Amino acid sequence: MFKRIEWAQVRVIAAKEWRERIRNWWVLAVAVIFALFALAIAYFGSAQQGSVGFHGIDVTIASLVSLVIYLVPLIAMILGYDAIVGERERGSLELLLSMPITRFEILLGKYLGLSAALACATAVGFGAGLLPLANQLGPRDLYHYAGFVFSAILMGMAFLSLSLWLSVVSQDRMRASGMAIGTWFFFVLVFDLLLMGLLVASKGSLGSTVFASLLMLNPADVFRMLNIFSSQQVQTMYGLATVMPDSLTNPMVLMSIMLGWIIVPFLFANWRFK
């Protein structure tokens, strides 16, 4: 049906999604959670090394990365799984589809609106969390921290894209939520274990290029790589990181791969949205 994209329609749907997340306090609640974690980690992150207090942005980012890698994908999956299947189940999708709007426009509008909610909660939350330490941070620190927050948003958008795909193909909300949690579990817990097992089983015959390429099959690992290779100090904290081939440590390459993780699942979602 009508092929030309009308951006006004996309904007209407995006604005509606955004307003709903603001209205039900979703954005604020997630921002508060992020702020508390950022603050706690900045202050207590090095407690296991025997001291509390702020020990520099690189250490803080390294600690935040290990937390965010669990939290942001989970929040993104919860945010997105309901987007289509929820409206289908409640019955509001039919009316929406009867409007002068295409399925692509609905999907893109939903994706952008939800992304805006997620991005806002992430940026505000992690921004506010660091406010009490503002006087201890230099421009370089802020730049690195901003890079970390930006990459967290991109990872969130990648998982949001995955959850939208699940939402399109699921028959009901129950299944969609189950699949969303399963997907999260796979990418943040199972995937790395499998890779580790593969590495051990292959007795080192798996080349570092192959290994690094396999890491790219997981947006959470792409996020981890992005943050490791943006700071020399963080790199030294991960011994493993030094075996990575140069082509896959370039932030621009990693960023492109992350964009792929945002776009490809969305295109699958659009393809299956009938």
Partner 1 sequence: MINEKIAGTAEVIQKTNVIEVAHASKIYGDITALDDISLSVAQGEMFGLIGPNGAGKSTLFKLMLGLISPTSGNIRVHGVPIDGRDFRAVRRRIGYLPESFVTYDNLTGLEILRLFADLKQVPRSSCAALLERVGLADAAGRRVSGYSKGMRQRLGFAQVLLGKPDLIFLDEPTNGLDPQGIHDFYQILRQVQAQGATIILTSHILAEIQERVDRLVILQTGHIAAQGTLAQLRTQRVLPSVIEVTLAPGQQARIEAGLARMAGLQISMNGQRARISCLPAQKVAVLELLFGLGGAVQDIAVHEPSLEDLFLGYGGQHVQAH
3-state percent breakdown (helix, strand, coil) of the chain, nearest 5? 80, 0, 20
**Residue 203, interface with partner 1 (CB under 8 A)?**
no
Q: What is the DSSP letter of 24?
A: T
**Residue 29, interface with partner 1 (CB under 8 A)?**
no
Size of the site for partner 1 (CB under 8 A): 24
Among 98, 135, 205, 232, binds partner 1 (CB under 8 A): 98
Among 48, 50, 51, 100, binds partner 1 (CB under 8 A): 100
Task: For residue 159, give the nearest of 184, 178, 141 by alpha carbon.
Answer: 184
Binding mask 58-97 for partner 1 (x = CB under 8 A): --------------------------------xxx-xxxx
Q: What is the DSSP letter of 206?
A: S
**Residue 135, interface with partner 1 (CB under 8 A)?**
no
Rounded-to-integer distance, Cα 233 and Cα 238, Å? 9
CB 107 within 8 A of CB 84: yes
**Residue 19, interface with partner 1 (CB under 8 A)?**
yes
Q: Whole-number minimum distance, CB 178 to partner 1, in Å? A: 24
Among 76, 101, 152, 158, binds partner 1 (CB under 8 A): 101
Rounded-to-integer distance, Cα 261 and Cα 239, Å? 26
CB 27 within 8 A of CB 128: no
> Per CB under 8 A, which region of 1-9, 75-83, 152-160, 179-187 contacts partner 1?
1-9
Cα Rg of the chain, angstroms? 20
Q: Which residues bind partner 1 (CB under 8 A)?
A: 1-3, 6, 8-9, 12, 16, 19-20, 23-24, 90-92, 94-102
